[in-house]
Amino acid sequence: MKCLLCENYTLTQHICKTCQKRFLQPELFRRPLTDRIDVLSFYRYDELQPLILTKHTELGFHLYKLLAKLSFEKFAQKFLWENSVASIAIDDNPNKSGYAHTAILNRALKSKTIHPLYNKLRARNSVSYSTKSKIYREAHPRNFKFNNFKQKDVVLVDDIVTTGTTLKEAICTLEKHNKDVLFCLTLCDVSI
């Protein structure tokens, strides 16, 4: 197959090792979300936009797995905390292609410290926020359904942070159930 970025032939990946090293090396960006919780992101949205737009396709499954390995997995191996930490993906419902892109990111966080959990925070309102304003997003909340779990400390996982509305709503839902969100972790940030 051909590399999606350079179009050279590669035997095993959709993006060759050379392009992974050249274009997909993650950085860690920090953005305050609330007075005590930050969003950490690995990429600028404009760097990943063509790859992110595949998330509802079969190709997106492979690209999200690669991006998760390059960023979330490396982060998890270095992250230390005194207690067991649950990672919870925002709305990890499978899409029409049969997978949940946020669940792929969440799964890559598995480590001695971080324990990915699934089906713990699902949106009851599945309206698309893509290209919508902050006013629209606030007027149409996700109305999350919470499924309990034992860990108190939580890392919230999503693929993109735009206005932060979804993450803030998820934080409020978790805090109502006595969970402590340490930070949010996203693949990319639109504001950077």
The residue among 187, 150, 182, 161 whose CA lies nearest residue 60 is 187
Does 85 map to a domain? yes
Question: What pLDDT score was predicted for residue 129?
Answer: 61
- The range of the structural domain enclosing residue 85 comes to 26-189
Q: Do 102 and 156 contact (CB within 8 A), yes or no?
A: no
The residue among 165, 158, 83, 69 whose CA lies nearest residue 121 is 158
Quick one: 38 exposed, middle or buried, by C-beta within 10 A (0-12, 13-18, 19+)?
middle
Does 11 map to a domain? no
Does 88 map to a domain? yes
Q: What is the pLDDT along the chain (192 residues), one digit of tens a residue?
A: 899 999 988 877 899 999 999 999 999 999 999 999 999 999 999 999 999 999 988 999 999 999 999 999 999 999 999 999 999 999 888 877 789 999 999 999 999 999 999 999 988 877 766 666 777 777 777 788 999 999 999 999 999 999 899 999 999 999 999 999 999 999 999 998
Does 5 map to a domain? no
Does 145 map to a domain? yes
If one counts the domains in the chain, the total is: 1
Question: What pLDDT score was predicted for residue 132?
Answer: 67
